[in-house]
């Protein structure tokens, strides 16, 4: 979370990440059936990697190479699935096309970041 402290000094509940792989599990908790588990690499606002790769519950039908928004507070999975018992530490909530921080828009094309002035 190195560069993010500059933009968001308070506790973050969502982070930007790149999907770098997926997991295949023949045996898993019943509430996870029908959903994918993806390997994500968290990113700084400039697109550089930030920290270790993690496994995320995919509620957005993301694919490898997608830039995604990951909820990191643990409660998003049950909101997306409607299953109040389902909890996942990291949940992919959406696939990003762009994001804006402090008036600087970053557009995402083919997994790469392009900064544009707004």
pLDDT tens for residues 48-76?
999 999 999 999 999 999 999 999 877 78
Span 91-117, pLDDT tens digits: 999 999 998 887 888 888 888 888 876
- Within 10 angstroms of residue 109's Cβ, the number of other Cβ atoms is 10
- Greater model confidence, 20 or 105: 20
The residue extents of the domains of the chain are: 4-117
Q: Which architecture, in CATH terms, is 4-117? A: Beta Barrel (2.40)
Predicted pLDDT at 79: 80
For 50, residues 6+ apart whose C-beta sits below 8 A from its C-beta are: 1, 2, 3, 4, 15, 42, 43, 44
The CA distance from 21 to 57, in Å, is 12
Helices within the chain (DSSP H only): 4-7, 76-81
The CA distance from 19 to 58, in Å, is 10
Confidence of residue 6 (pLDDT cuts 50, 70, 90): low
Predicted pLDDT at 19: 97
This prediction has a pTM of 0.82
**Does residue 1 have a pLDDT over 50?**
no
Confidence of residue 81 (pLDDT cuts 50, 70, 90): confident
């Amino acid at each position: 979370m190195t560069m993010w402290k500059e933009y968001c000094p308070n506790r973050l509940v969502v982070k930007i990440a790149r999907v770098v792989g997926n997991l295949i599990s023949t045996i898993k908790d019943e509430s996870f059936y029908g959903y994918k588990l993806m390997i994500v690499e968290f990113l700084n606002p400039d697109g550089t990697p930030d920290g270790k790769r993690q496994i995320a519950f995919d509620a957005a039908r993301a694919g490898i190479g997608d830039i995604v928004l990951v909820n990191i507070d643990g409660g998003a999975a049950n909101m997306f699935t409607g299953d109040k018992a389902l909890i996942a530490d990291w949940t992919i909530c959406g696939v990003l096309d762009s994001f804006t921080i402090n008036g600087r828009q970053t557009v995402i094309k083919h997994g790469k970041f392009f900064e544009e002035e707004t």
